[in-house]
A and B are shown apart, each in its own frame.
Chain A
Amino acid sequence: MAATIAALTEAAGTLFSWPTPLWVAVGLILGMIAGALPGVGSSLGMAIVLPLTLPLGPINALVLLVSMYSGAMYGGSIAAILVNVPGTGAAAATTFDGYPMSKQGRAIEALSISATSSALGGFLTVLTLIAISPILIEAVLLFGTPEYFLMAVLGLSMIGVVAQGSVVKAIIAGAFGMLLTTIGIAPNSPELRYTFGSLALYDGIDFIAALIGMFAIAEMIKLSAQTGGIAESDIDLDGSVFAGIKTAISRPVTLIKSSFIGMFIGAVPGSGATVSNFISYGEAMRSSDNPEAFGNGEPDGVIASEASNNGTIGGSLIPTISFGIPGSGSTAVLLGGLLMHGLRPGPQLFDAELATTYTFMLALLAGNVFILFVGVFIVTRLGHLTQVDTKYIVPTIVVLSMIGGYTLRTNWVDVATVVFLGLFGYLMVKYNYSVIAFVLGVVLGPIAEENLIRSLQLSGGSYDIFVTKPLSLLIVIAILVILFGPVVKPRLERLIS
């Protein structure tokens, strides 16, 4: 406990030392812009900023990234409320009531509800995350090398089950992502794999280039095909800021419940804010005395949607920092940032780097206060961003992506990775292959391989090591249930009936 308090104190000291607060503000503003710009969103925004964090130290880089994540979650609601187009999938449900409110001349009120709910939802769940972190630390320390390998497999399997679409397609996508990471020098051995004798391939595929390709280029190809860009808004920015704040605060049950639904779902790998958004909206509607009002400008709809998507952040950090399993695309990029700056998820982040971990958790807390302030008082300026035509966004993002890819290692293999995986990612999205599973495979591949090799070294080459300890056996059983559950369950039900 004393170590936790000491780390928290050190983290607070770091957070409030210059220039860290500046990176919190920069991250939040960039995130809000990325969230508000049609077709951009948190994962894409974070992916193209990732190479720019190279000159920053690990703390400032991570503070910038988590702040962007938080800002983008809120930013997505601006387009949802003002032009009926969610800036991110995580704000899809916000359109249902936010846009009708705007049409009723309550746009400012809806935006204030969104800012207050986002800020309070994010604040509450990150505070909870900090409160449960000592338990998390104890749990993480129980995991050894075999368990970490199994957790990587479990994470991929979970995505197959949670993601919409075919489980097999998701697993193939994840395994293909892992396969690409085997290019280059093998870990702990001098073997060269699939390099075709080219020196440029010795270090393998850079996962950040892969993230940029999958999130940015693929999305831009898709966006360029959307006809006409964003619609012109016919909304006047009317309504009261304080009425919005009052409305959000006066409905604490919806706000708190939605925040924690978001946190719980965020902790499940592959689900992310898009899923938590529709679950909490559905729950708010189910428990409402007036469900007919939903879809016609009911403030509870905006509160549920916005509190849950910011609540997801706290939850998704749990598997990301504990086991290296990102809960969503944005946390996959965040994990990329951690690895890029030499931080390994797992025990290291809860031991030697505990103060760093707390710094970015506290940055999220402070960021939520900032969201409330900016969201309530400056958001009318950000509203203009939703009017930017996609025709101008696409070439700018493509240039940022290609340049960002090249600057990673000044290796043309990275540019080729950005382009190839961009095209590949576009086809994956088009034919319902899970991009998140693929990205998770790319990020988890090296961690999984290293832990597999080390486990087999410990056991003298025997695979028994994965089933001899109760914890690892439990994870193996969970993997089997997750993988074969969807196939076996209907047969079992038929047998019983």
Chain B
Amino acid sequence: MTAQELYRRLVEDVIDAEKLLVAMMVVSSGYMLWGTTQFSIDRAARFPRLVASVVFIGSLLLLFQAYLPAVLRNALLSEGAAFEASDEFAQKEADMEEAAAETESTEISSVGRPIHDSVFTALSVVGYALVGYAIGLLWASPLFVLLYARWFRIDLLRTVILAVIGFGIAYSFMIVLTVPMDGGALLFQDGVSWLPR
């Protein structure tokens, strides 16, 4: 099995992202529900206990919906949709979606990369935040733009223009709102003195 096939299997068959989402809500609401028993002031526990119970019970039911009786499962999945579109409108929308689907590629990435475009964007956003914390958002912003643009095969001139725009946005926020963004936890810890302010 090639690395590409392994990735595709992992993303499309092994990892159920919806279950992951619901499990995240079960775990966090369960922890927060337990946390309310540790508060010393009862008044402060009421609201989190109430909403954590709703999330915990609801998400637990969603997580195990396959094992629930049909009546409960139907109630769980019952749709509100108080305002429904007319049949003609729904048909027109379906036609448009069909036309869009016909032009869609079945490839993993629109630019011939080995992972999904959305996975790359998500990972690069996480990386951007981490690098921003380490060296300062002012420097991390053009780096993120450079990486993103190269990944999506944007030509060099446009890549440079986009990176300059990224730096410009960060620099303008820094100057206008007087927020220090030129220093990070690892590099330029006190900012840089030579930058015009």
**B89, A193: Cβ atoms under 8 Å?**
no
A162: CB under 8 A from chain B? yes
**Cβ contacts under 8 Å, B145 to chain A:** 395-396, 399
B83: CB under 8 A from chain A? yes
Interface string of B107-119 (1 = CB under 8 A from A): 0001000001110
**B85, A403: Cβ atoms under 8 Å?**
no
**B77, A168: Cβ atoms under 8 Å?**
yes
**A426, B76: Cβ atoms under 8 Å?**
no
Nearest to B40 among chain A residues (CB) is A191
B44: CB under 8 A from chain A? yes
| One of A55, A419, A428 near B126 (C-beta < 8 A) | A419
A449: CB under 8 A from chain B? yes
Give the number of chain B interface residues (Cβ < 8 Å): 80
**Cβ contacts under 8 Å, B196 to chain A:** none
**Cβ contacts under 8 Å, A431 to chain B:** 17-18, 21
**B79, A399: Cβ atoms under 8 Å?**
no
* Interface class of chain B by DSSP: helix
Instruction: Give CA–CA (A143, B176) in the complex, Å.
Output: 41
> How many whole Å from A57's CB to the nearest CB in chain B?
15
Instruction: Give CA–CA (A170, B21) in the complex, Å.
Output: 14
> How many whole Å from A64's CB to the nearest CB in chain B?
15
Interface string of A48-91 (1 = CB under 8 A from B): 00011011000000000000000000000000000010000000
**B79, A165: Cβ atoms under 8 Å?**
yes
Interface hits, A373-397 → B, CB 8 Å: 391-392, 394-396
Instruction: Give CA–CA (A123, B185) in the complex, Å.
Output: 51
**A227, B104: Cβ atoms under 8 Å?**
yes
**B129, A182: Cβ atoms under 8 Å?**
no
A189: CB under 8 A from chain B? yes
**B89, A93: Cβ atoms under 8 Å?**
yes
User: Contacts A295-B92, A419-B129 given: A191-B44 contact, CB under 8 Å?
Assistant: yes
**A394, B148: Cβ atoms under 8 Å?**
yes
Interface hits, B124-169 → A, CB 8 Å: 125-126, 128-129, 132-133, 137, 141, 144-145, 148-149, 152, 154, 158, 162, 165-166, 169
User: Contacts A176-B29, A410-B179 given: A449-B43 contact, CB under 8 Å?
Assistant: no
User: Contacts A221-B118, A222-B118 given: A168-B76 contact, CB under 8 Å?
Assistant: yes
Q: Can you show 13 pairs from A to B with CB atoms below 8 A apart? A: A52-B173, A167-B78, A179-B48, A221-B125, A227-B103, A227-B105, A228-B103, A278-B85, A282-B85, A396-B166, A399-B166, A403-B181, A430-B18
- Beyond A171-B58, A189-B43, A400-B169, list 17 extra A-B contacts (CB 8 Å): A168-B75, A172-B58, A175-B55, A178-B51, A193-B39, A194-B32, A391-B149, A392-B158, A399-B166, A402-B125, A402-B128, A402-B132, A403-B169, A403-B170, A407-B177, A452-B47, A486-B78
Nearest 3 pairs between A and B by C-beta? Answer: A186-B44, A191-B44, A161-B80
- Chain B residues proximal to chain A, CB less than 8 Å: 17-18, 20-21, 24-25, 28-29, 32, 35, 39-41, 43-48, 50-52, 54-55, 58-59, 61-62, 75-83, 85-86, 88-89, 92-93, 96, 103-105, 110, 116-118, 120-122, 125-126, 128-129, 132-133, 137, 141, 144-145, 148-149, 152, 154, 158, 162, 165-166, 169-170, 173, 176-177, 179-181
